Amino acid sequence: MYPLLSLSQITLNSQLARRLPRRLAYYHLALPIAYDEDFIAVAMAHPDNQAVVKVLEAVLGAAVTPVRSDAEEIKHSLDYVWQEDGEAGTSTLMFWTDKPECEANIRAYAAEIAVALSLNCEESQPESMAALLQRSQEVRPSLIVCCVADSQLLAQLVNRSTASILLVREGQALPRNILHVLRGHTPDRRVLDWVIPIAHHDNVPVTLLAAATPSYGQGSPLLSDFANLLSPNHSAHLTEYGQVLASVNVTGRVKIRQGMLEDVIVSELSERSYDMVAIAAEAYGDFVYRVLQRLNGNSCAFLVIKP
């Protein structure tokens, strides 16, 4: 039995609370409320669910002490935390294409993605790429869905957009098979926060792809790097991501390929069919743009999560 704690009795630590990705926090009704060097106390609507506790420990990277709190109080507190961070309430999705004949199709696709992600879709698109980027600075959308044929406009979008981007092709359908590329740093966890609701929408399986970068130390480079990827201290800890997917009933599989990540992505997409690739990008998206250039003609959508 867990005693009931009213969240009105505590002062929220928003920085601590945001260590748990927003959609996972809402899905599990879980709110980190206190910590020391040994544990993190998490207010939970269902603290007796040990499977969820283990997932929270994996994501937070610390031992979790569950505390029972009222579900509505947790929701209210999460709304406050994420409103403060500019990510709650009326999150917006924008769309744009440089092909006027495709505007209706892109609008329809954007509306479907907005439903999956619980976002509000703007009714019309800006007139130009410059107008889109200007509008996105004003609106601060969670996501921009784009179909861009012109390579220069695509480079401009990937480099200059501060919002996350979903790049699609004409006639794109919602995904049936998602590839989540792990880059080996913290934003990989943010990507899961996007992938999970999309996967839930149509019961879509997710493949986690990691690169075992060749090294020339002792023993087999592949086996050495494989062991590193499975280490709980590794930033791309594969077991952690698999646990998160399992906790929200998403079918997942792990795939490790030897080589540099850019080459690994290209090889994987040439050998197996995916409808969507999800990947974390640095602020200017240079790595993602290089991959897109090498995949010219590939028909899958690219979900590019900006920091």
Whichever domain contains 182, its CATH number is 3.40.50.620
Total count of domains within the chain:
3
pLDDT of 129:
95
Same structural domain for residues 206 and 125? no
pLDDT of 215:
54
* List of the chain residues with pLDDT < 70: 84-90, 186, 214-238
Q: Residue 131's domain spans which residues? A: 92-167
Beta carbons of 185 and 283 less than 8 angstroms apart = no
Per-residue pLDDT tens for 116-143?
988 889 989 999 999 999 998 888 898 9
Beta carbons of 247 and 241 less than 8 angstroms apart = no
Same structural domain for residues 163 and 212? no
Residue 104 lies in a domain: yes
Residue 172 lies in a domain: no
Burial per residue of 191-206, b for 16 or more beta-carbon CB atoms within 10 angstroms, e otherwise: bbbbbbbbbeeeebeb
Burial per residue of 169-183, b for 16 or more beta-carbon CB atoms within 10 angstroms, e otherwise: beebebbeebbbbbb
The closest of 281, 54, 274 to 169, measured between CA atoms, is 274
Residue 173 lies in a domain: no
Sheet with 143-147, strands from edge to edge, namely 120-121, 92-97, 143-147, 164-167, 301-305, 276-280, 178-181, 206-212, 252-258
pLDDT of 85:
53
Report if pTM > 0.85. Answer: no
Same structural domain for residues 186 and 290? yes
Q: What is the dihedral of CA 266, 209, 201, 92, to 10 degrees?
A: -70
Same structural domain for residues 278 and 187? yes
Select from 167, 188, 209 the last residue of a domain: 167
Beta carbons of 43 and 72 less than 8 angstroms apart = no
